[in-house]
Amino acid sequence: MRALKVLALVAMVALVFCLGANPPAKPKPIKVLLITGDDVGAHPWREMSETTREILVNSGKFDVKVVEDPLILESATALKNYDVIDFLIYSAKMPELPAQAQENLLNFVKGGKGFFVQHLASASFPKWEEFGKLCGRKWVMGTSGHGPRAVFKANIADKQHPITAGLSDFDVDDELYAKLQGNEKIQVLVTADSDWSKATEPLVFIQNYGQGRVVHNAFGHDRKALMTPNVQKIIARGTEWAATGRVTE
């Protein structure tokens, strides 16, 4: 009996040494293509993109490539290197996207990857109807809008989804987007009550698109808005969920 105990102890020690010598492999970083660019003075666009990149990198989960031209979407080969596209640009200088780029973006998401669209970026490509469907809801010039920038209360509408699980209602100094247009079936995660529209507005929402996942985040007018702690969590968690379908903490 004593010999068996000794053997068991030796086996346990050996196991400890083996585990110590071979620590669990670190998960591969999620590859993010962050598309940004000059939105003709509507926003401090470089500040917005640099802050969003900072949020993602600081989470330790992402490898982020920033490009300032949506025409990268014309290369299906380039897109294969990424798990998710974070789309931050309102392409005022490019009202329409070439047909090949349109096809590549839709196929990227339909094929099982992610799309994360932020703030005014959903206003891009106004004549491309499918882009609005991809975003779930779309800012339409002359219809969508917001009141004066101010501190307002954001309400967690879905406390079970991995993106918002554990988050509490929070105050944010930002533009409260209202009257986003669209009829797609979306799952609303965060809302706020707008004095401008006199309605409860969806500010963070998700949908499936083909085999892929879409997150629409209407927060993010500038660095001050983006540095709100819960907004940072939504960006990091939302990008991960769009890429993988789950959120790790």
Domains and CATH numbers, the chain: 30-244 (3.40.50.880)
Res 27: pLDDT: 80
Res 7: pLDDT: 46
Return the sign of the alpha-carbon dihedral for residues 128, 133, 134, 140. Answer: positive
**Could you tell me whether strands 187-194 and 150-156 are parallel, antiparallel, or unpaired per DSSP bridges?**
antiparallel
Res 11: pLDDT: 52
> Residues of 29-38 as b/e, b for ≥16 C-beta within 10 angstroms?
ebbbbbbbbe
Measured distance CA(43)–CA(50) in Å, rounded: 13
Instruction: Give pLDDT < 70 ranges for the chain.
Output: 1-25
Q: Please state, in angstroms and as integers, the Cα–Cα distance from residue 88 to each residue in 19, 47, 143, 203, following that order.
A: 43, 11, 21, 15
Cβ neighbours around 76 below 10 Å, total: 14
Res 126: pLDDT: 92
- Is the pTM higher than 0.85? The answer reads yes
Place of tokens 């209602």: 169
Res 162: pLDDT: 98
